[in-house]
Structure 1
Amino acid sequence: MANSNRHLRIDNTKVPENYSHKNAFKFYVCSYWDARWVRIQDLFTLKNNDTVHLSWHELTYSDMNSYIKYWIDSDHDMVRIMKLYTEERIQPESLFDGIVVLKNPGIRGATYLVAANRTKQRKHQIMGVVWDDNRLRLYSWNKNEPIRFEENVYAESWAPEYEVLMVMNKKKELEGDLERIQNSLETNQDQNLVEKKNEISRELQNVSQKVAGYNLVFRDGVFSYE
């Protein structure tokens, strides 16, 4: 029955917890009331879906951290809207561990923004994560399209925030490169490595100055405009 144009909604029906099907998330819209059988690997199969809604599930914030990391490096768009029922308020430090995040407190209470890997040719390059009405909601947008939550449009686009995320990700990338070169220099004082280290250090200093100019605050594992 799997079809990229078809909607599938299964309500008030228990599903065996060991259930699995390769086509379970190949529908344009998937809504499962009993989603205890869903594993994070199932969500990795998403491709060009519109909406996924999971009510009774056992996915953790650690699982969703893995999902967001997978989304960042995916070669294709996965899903526009994902909604998961949870009574736990959003836990930024566990949900975004190892991920560069920008918190915008002005829309929907608080929206946590994540950018896709800039080397991936994707239509939707930015993700917004919010928690409200006992649901964790993950939205994916094109950085230049109007900011839409369900049917409501809130602002022109996330383009400015996307550019900030690109600079922040570049800073993290350069810091990693610098650390790797420094480790190599501890055992090999190659002149080319020394020159490369100096080059990266200069670039990192410039990027760090750009980040400082945004006047961001780092709290609970994320950067914020607050």
Structure 2
Amino acid sequence: METILAIQPMFSTFPLRKLPFVALKHVIKIMEIDEIVKIAITSKYMESIVKVCYIQIRRTMAVFNREHSYIGLDFPAVTLFCCSKAFNHPSAPKLTKDDLKPWLSETATTLENTRQLFTRIYKLFQCGPYRLMINSPTENIKEILEIPEFRNFTVLFLVGGHFKKEQLDEVLEFEREDQDLHIIRGVIPEDYYHPNLFKFTDVHYCDARWIRLENLLSIKNTFMITLGMNNLTIPDINTFLHHWMNSEYELFKFISIDIEKGPSTPLDVLFRGITVLKGYRFGTWRRLISVNSPDTRSRQIMSIVWTDSRIDMSTWSIHERPKQLDRNDDSLMHFDEPYTPEFIVLQLLKQRRVLYSKLKIVKEDSLEKQELIKKIDETNNQLQFKGVEYKNGWPVLRGVDASSRMLA
């Protein structure tokens, strides 16, 4: 036993404050993020040293759930609880109210302590944009959104049971064009309506049964829309596609709409009255449609893909390279060539459609009919030259896919 003790190294503590300034900064920068927070709590001097280390936090979220509220940091990750006991939570380092005691008040409310902690952390690190998550059944949404420190969120996540009209009004009346709203769990009254329902930049409604066709037709300059469970029909979506084609302004960049699961999507209903081209991009087949007034629109083409439960639509300028995140690695971005070839083909298909419509109403053996037939033949030759084939009645353009991968 004495031999074992003799060969054990002798440990001693060394006050960090005795280190030179540059060395102290270096030591702090290589510490784990939870240890850095603990160091900052020890004194105002150490807090000031941590500040000048300019440690970057990629993602920050303030989560409001009454006594279980917390501030979550990601990359590097640590969860800072405003309660004394850390509840079951993803495996990130955790600090509780007891650890953070010097920064919190025993007499303040949980909301006020969350505010103080959030402000302190934001001054301590280089946090950048932040997100909010509010458990609506347990929190006063309006009270939180009126706090100045929480007004400039990038995304507001709402989690609830059954939302009340007043709660939703408080959120939608707060709208700003550079912020996102994600209602990710909960039930929204089916008779609910608000004129700002699509005014956020990125909108996600897990329960969209209250969304009607007329609501879709009100969309204008929204970046992304996700509609979960809803009562929209395939004819409704067809009407929406017509509206997109005929509009003089941009409606959206991306939209995803859940559909009722079935054996197949009735394409003849979905694309009724629409000129459609089947194209191959990013390793999958998709349907492409184009606007009717390309000179007034910055994104002239729409790509449509679907599964048995969802339809995804994205709109693109014919001068930009479309992009898509890698399915297995979200740090990789796939890029493809612009949709210019498909757009040209769609214009030819529309031209041919108009010619066929005119052909049906002209007199037999007339000079006009001969001219129309000649133009139709010329258009068909152009389509064939560009590589258009027909499969089950649908025009198909092959050989355009040229996707490449780059870091996102």
Say which structure, 1 or 2, has more relative contact order (CA 8 Å, 6+ apart). Answer: 1
Partner residue, 1:112: 287
Partner residue, 2:182: 9
Partner residue, 2:233: 60
Partner residue, 2:384: 212
2:203 maps to amino acid:
C
Matched ranges for 1:152-191 at <5 A: 152-180=333-361, 182=362, 185=363
How many residues align? The count is: 216
1:212 maps to amino acid:
Q
TM-score when normalising by structure 1: 0.84
In structure 2, relative to structure 1, the CA distance for the partners of 1:120 and 1:215 (3 Å cut) is closer
Partner residue, 1:140: 315
Partner residue, 1:103: 278
1:206 maps to amino acid:
E
Offset at 1:80? 0.3
Partner residue, 2:196: 23
Mapped contact 2:282–2:334 kept (Cα < 8 A): no
Q: Secondary structure at the match of 2:187?
A: coil
Offset at 1:70? 0.9
C-alpha separation in 1, matches of 2:216 and 2:258: 15
1:165 maps to amino acid:
L
Offset at 1:11? 2.4
Offset at 1:105? 3.7
Mapped contact 2:388–2:395 kept (Cα < 8 A): no
Offset at 1:106? 4.8
Q: Deviations over 1:32-69 (max 9, x none)?
A: 11100111111111111100001111112211111111
C-alpha separation in 1, matches of 2:240 and 2:354: 20
Whose radius of gyration is greater, 1 or 2? 2
C-alpha separation in 2, matches of 1:218 and 1:98: 18
Mapped contact 1:13–1:33 kept (Cα < 8 A): yes
Offset at 1:19? 1.6
C-alpha separation in 1, matches of 2:283 and 2:241: 20
Offset at 1:9? 1.7
Offset at 1:83? 0.8
C-alpha separation in 2, matches of 1:108 and 1:94: 26
Partner residue, 1:223: 395
Gaps of 5+ in 2: 1-172, 399-408
Q: Structure 1 stretch 171-180 or stretch 138-147: which is displaced more?
A: 171-180
In structure 2, relative to structure 1, the CA distance for the partners of 1:108 and 1:4 (3 Å cut) is farther
C-alpha separation in 2, matches of 1:138 and 1:52: 10
1:80 aligns with 2:253: yes
C-alpha separation in 2, matches of 1:102 and 1:154: 21
Gaps of 5+ in 1: 187-193
Alpha-carbon RMSD across the aligned residues, in angstroms, is: 2.4
C-alpha separation in 2, matches of 1:92 and 1:19: 31
Offset at 1:208? 2.3
C-alpha separation in 1, matches of 2:376 and 2:301: 24
1:32 maps to amino acid:
Y
